[in-house]
Structure formats: structure tokens, C-alpha cells
A and B are shown apart, each in its own frame.
Chain A
Amino acid sequence: MTISGEWEQVREPLTSAGPVDIIIGLPTCNDAGTAKHVVTSLLSGLGKTCPGTTALLVNVDAGSHDGTPDLVRQVVEEGAPGSPVHHAMVTLQPGALDARAIEESGMPGRTQAFETIFGVAVELDSKACVIVDGNLRSVEPGWMDLLLRPVLDRNADYVSPLFRRPRYDGSLTNSIIYPLSRALYGTRLRYQSGACGLSGKLAKASLAKGFWEDVHARFGVDIALATLAVAEGHEVCQVCLGPKVYEGRRSVGDLSEVLGQAVGAVFHFMETYQDGWEGRTGSKPPAVYGPPYEPGTEMVTIHVERMLKGFRQGLRDLLPIWKVVLPPETLAKILPLGLVEDEEFRFPASLWVQTVYDFALAYHEQALHQEHLVKSLTPLYLGRTASLVLETRDGGPDEVERTIEALCQTFERMKPYLIDRWRFQ
């Protein structure tokens, strides 16, 4: 078992605090605008959900300059209604932060924060752990019940959030990460981030396997955690938390970097868990709690013509690289797409699935430098996303959900294509 170095900062006061049942993890970085609301909501929710239970709020801060840690401490010291809550503050050292790791929340050091919170949970032998991003403006007291109850009452190990997101938001997750992981591990988990609930058992499992030393876990902590849970057969469920609103405009960085880290993590874990996914067929939905899930109706600005331009430039310039990655039959189907007019452009689901599986196989075969390989998928992803928008923009929000579901089923149906080539290529 590894214990995070940051744990040393809070070891002394915490060991004297006695047993703690619940850990509330709060990663922050310059979140004075939302911290008070987030902490108040979580403590209020805790008081209603588990009155009398001892809890510890671990605020892992990545070097705020706006007094966020003091604000959090002040709110905790004012007291939670009904539950004794201890407070622990951990400041991540600048050297510990991985500047390359990209998070949807835009928060630096989130992975290190998770590792620290897990270390504390394991050291104190806590039953459950709830982690919520400190810059989430849409947190409500009810979230605590939704994230904690499945762990405490229904033996869930990983409680994944299900947010109502604007149309086409999370298209990388919906085009690759969710359908591919669902086809591989047989669980229909939507792979979202921002808030989650975990059992002490899962925290222990993650620390026991050198999980945090893995660079792909550090670059995609939510994907890594969800994959660990579904691949190793832990009990998982989803809770509908409503909309997800971050404070301020988020900047997650360059798309190819995002894609490289997220898809690279999924491809990497395919190697780790290959014995687990090869035999699985079909998929099952996990238990879903909370209000019924409904897709978002809001539209985001999305430039289809720019995406198609990126796709066509990829066809023109990246062909020598794609020839190494993709077999001739896949390439022969992709090439004619470059000649289609914008309005008629369609990237068929079956071709997209074949392309993603071919990239996964090339990653497995190490046909190319792995970072180059995954990043060279970006223009193809732009083509598929443009096609999704063109196919569904005149329909309602359910139309997008139906298309995503159809894509997932295609991934599952074509899984033998992957398996046949995985070991014997």
C-alpha cells in the first residue's frame, strides 16, 4: 500500500481525532467564489443524511491565492448541523502538480488531491468517501444523500455522477470513452466527472495496486477510477445530480491533448485488463438513483464546418501516419468521405467503430509512438462529431441520446472484430 506524501501534513491532528466514518474530499484552487456554497451544501446534506456520524472534510488545495482554504476552514468551524465534522487542510506542493494533466473542471492537481483523500480514507479506515470539485456552482445539499446512500446502504463501491449536460457536450466521452468502455467491460457507466462517492474498499483497492504511479491514472483519474471499478467487478451505480455548472469559463486546453490523455488512458487500461474484457459480451445498466435522467436541451456553440476542415486536412496530411495505423480496408472506406459536401457529410457508426478498434489494436501492437498514435485520431474524431451534429441537429435532445445508444450497440456488436485481431494480429 502506498501512502501519499501529503498525508504526512495531517497525520498528527487526525490520528488523535479518533474513528471517522465518512471522508468528504474537496479539491480546490482559487475557488473562494464557490467554496462557501459547496461546503455549506455538503455539510448541510451530511447532517440530514447521516446525523451523528463523525466526518472529516479534507480540503486539498493546489496553492490558492484568494484565501480559499481559510474560507473552507471557517465554514467547517462554524459547524455542521447534526454531525461532528473535523477539518484537515492539505496544500499540494507546486512540484507535485502535473502541469500536463488536463481536467474537465480546469482544476490543477485534482489527481493528486484524489490520491491524498484516498490515503486519508484508508489510514482512518473510513466506510465511505465523497469527493466534489470545489468550483462546482450547482452543488446542492441533496447531492450528499445521493452520493453517500448507495455506499452506506446498498454496498456500492463506486457512485458515478450523471449530469444533465448541454447537447453535444462531452462528445469525446460519448463517441469513444463511454461506448468503448461499455463494450469492453459490459457496464453502461457514462464516465462523467465532477463528483463521486466511493467505498473504503475501492479506495484501498486503488492504493494497493500502484494505481497512482500509473501515468494514465494521473492523466485521467475519473476514467481510471471508473475502469478500475467496472473491470475488477466492484459494485457500481449512477446518481442523477442535475446540471453541472462550473464557476467561470473553463479552459481544458488543446483538443488533441485532451483526446491523447483520455483515449490513451482507455487504450492503456485495455492492456491492463485484457483478461477481464475479452470474454464479456453485451452490457448491463448499473443501478440509477435520484431523479430520472433527462438529456440537456441547451445548445452550445459548435462549428461543424471547422470540424470538417480539420477532418479533411487530416486526410490530406496525416495519411502516411494513418497508413501505419489503419488497415487498407478501413482506410479505403474513410478516404471517399473527404470528397463529400458539408451538408451530405456522414461518418457511419460502423466505420467509426472499426476505426477506433483499429487504433486500439495499433496501440496494442505499438505500431507507432503511442502519444503520436492517439493524437493522430483527432481529425477523425472531428469528422465523426461533425457527422453526429449534422445527423441530429434538426431533432430533439432525445435524438442525440438515441444516436449515442445506437453507437454503443454497434461497438458491442462489432467487439468480435477487436477480439479476433487483439491476440492474433
Chain B
Amino acid sequence: MSELWQEAVLDAFRETTKRVLLLFPKFLALLTFLVLGLVFAWLVRFLFVRILRGIRFDQFCERIGLVPAMAKAGMTQPASYLVGRVSFWVVFILFSFTGIDAMDLPATASLMSAIIGFLPNVLAAALLLLLGLLLANFFADAALIAAVNAQIEEARLIANMIRWAILIFTGAMVLTQLGIAKEIVVSAFSITFGGIVLALSIALGLGGRNVARDLLERRMRHKQASDDDDEDDVSHI
């Protein structure tokens, strides 16, 4: 009995030691990957920030209206710094997952291939988001300036509506690209958009019929009066 017990304990100990000894190099590999990840990520961030500052990327982002959009979203740091940070985390996460893969754990067996397979979707979604932000700013600014110059009182409202319409559309496209609740996003977008249009039509057709008529009549009268005699006669050039 005593011998059996001793053998069982020794077997268990040997097995555990063997497993620990087998795990140790993998653990060391994980640590190495993490350290390498930190070093490479820092290096990539450093290079990115230097190169982007060298090519005046911050000024470019300011010019295309990205900086105000980012500021509105609470990101007040320079664009080059943000790109540097993102690149740092992308490189570090890639190294970390490689390290986890090196552990050869059954639970993480296909983690790396899944991540690499999903990467194109993430990149496409990021580009879509960037493009959407740029377009939203560009068209909102264009509409704001045109409406102010035409002396339309609701200039800011028009500009904001255009900005948010483009942003919502972009958001829906980004979520679809990432495959997150694809059907729900498409349905929600269609229902919301259709609902808004329908609500506006009903509101104008029923509730605001008289107001709309008065408004149009006033506009027509004003335009007619302007056409008749009220326009400035001055040639500016």
C-alpha cells in the first residue's frame, strides 16, 4: 500500500515536473515575444512619428479637416502621435498573439490564423471610417459656407444634418464591413432612414401643411420682390 502510494505521488510529481519543464521554454518564448513586441512596437511608433512629422502629416490632417473632427471626438493630440500610438498597439498585439500561439495551448490553437484572416476587414473598416470622417467634414463645411453666404438662417442645422447623415452612413458601412450584427445593422439603418423620411413627410403633409404653404408663399413673394427691385444693383468685380 505504501509502495503504491509512493509510486503514485512520484509519478504525479514526475509528470508535473515534465509538464512544467515542457511549459517553461514556451513561457520563455512568450516572454521573449512580449519583450520583442515592446521593443519593435516602440521602434515602429518612433519611426512613424518621425516620418509623419517630416512629411508634415499633422498640417495635412489639419488642412483636410480631420483635426477638428478628431477634436470633437475628444482626440486632441496631433494626428502623427495618434497614428504612432495605433501602430505601437498593432505591433505589440501581433507579437503578443504570436507569443500566445507559441504556448501551444489547445484554447488558442487557431487564434493567430483567425486574427490574420480578419485583419483585411479591420483595415478596410479603418479606411472607410477615415474616408467617412473626411467626407463628412468636407461636405458639412461646404454646406455651412454656402448656406451662410446665401444668408440662410438654418445654416448650421443644414451642415450638421449633412455631417451626421454621412457619419451614420459610414458607421453602418464600417459595422457591416466588420461583420458585426450585419443583418441588424442593415435593417436598423433602413428602418431608421426610412422612418425619418416617412415621419418628415407625414409631419409636413398633415401637421405642417399650413405652415409649409405659408412658408412657400412668403418665399415666393420675397423672391418675386427681390427679382423686381430689391436686389443689390452693384457689380462686385
Q: Show the binding face of A for B, using Cβ within 8 Å.
A: 102, 104, 166, 168-173, 177, 193, 250, 252, 254-256, 258-259, 262, 300-303, 306, 309-310, 313-314, 317-318, 320-321, 324, 365-369, 372, 375-376, 378-379
Contact = CB atoms under 8 A, between A and B. Distances in A.
Nearest to A262: B237
Contact of B236 (A255, A309, A317): A255
A313 B148 contact: yes
Contacts of B78: none
What is the interface of chain B mostly: helix, strand, loop, or mixed? helix
Contact of A369 (B59, B63, B232): B63
A102 B235 CA distance: 12
Interface of B: 59, 62-65, 68, 138, 141-142, 144-151, 153, 155-156, 229-237
B237 A321 contact: no
Contact of A379 (B138, B148, B232): B148
Given A317-B155, A324-B62, A365-B59, A252 B149 contact: no
Contacts of B149: 254-256, 310, 375, 378-379
B141 to A, nearest CB: 5
Contacts of B142: 372
A320 B233 contact: no
A100 B73 CA distance: 36
B235 A369 contact: no
Given A324-B62, A366-B59, A317 B144 contact: yes
Contacts of B156: 317
Given A170-B237, A301-B232, A256 B63 contact: no
Contacts of A368: 63, 65, 141
Given A169-B234, A301-B231, A369 B144 contact: no
A365 B63 CA distance: 9
B16 to A, nearest CB: 66
B148 A317 contact: yes
A313 B152 CA distance: 9
Given A170-B235, A317-B156, 18 more contacts: A104-B237, A166-B234, A173-B237, A250-B235, A252-B236, A254-B150, A256-B146, A303-B232, A306-B151, A306-B232, A313-B153, A317-B144, A317-B148, A318-B144, A321-B141, A367-B63, A372-B142, A372-B145
A173 B149 CA distance: 19
A104 B235 contact: yes
Given A255-B149, A258-B237, A303-B232, A321 B62 contact: no
Contacts of B153: 313
Contacts of B236: 170-173, 252, 255, 258-259
Nearest to A304: B232
Contacts of A320: 68
B237 A369 contact: no
A135 to B, nearest CB: 14
A367 B58 CA distance: 11
A420 B58 CA distance: 23
10 contacts: A172-B237, A255-B236, A300-B234, A301-B233, A309-B151, A310-B148, A313-B148, A320-B68, A321-B144, A369-B138
A153 B237 CA distance: 31
Residue of A193, A252, A309, A318 most packed against chain B (CB within 10 A): A318
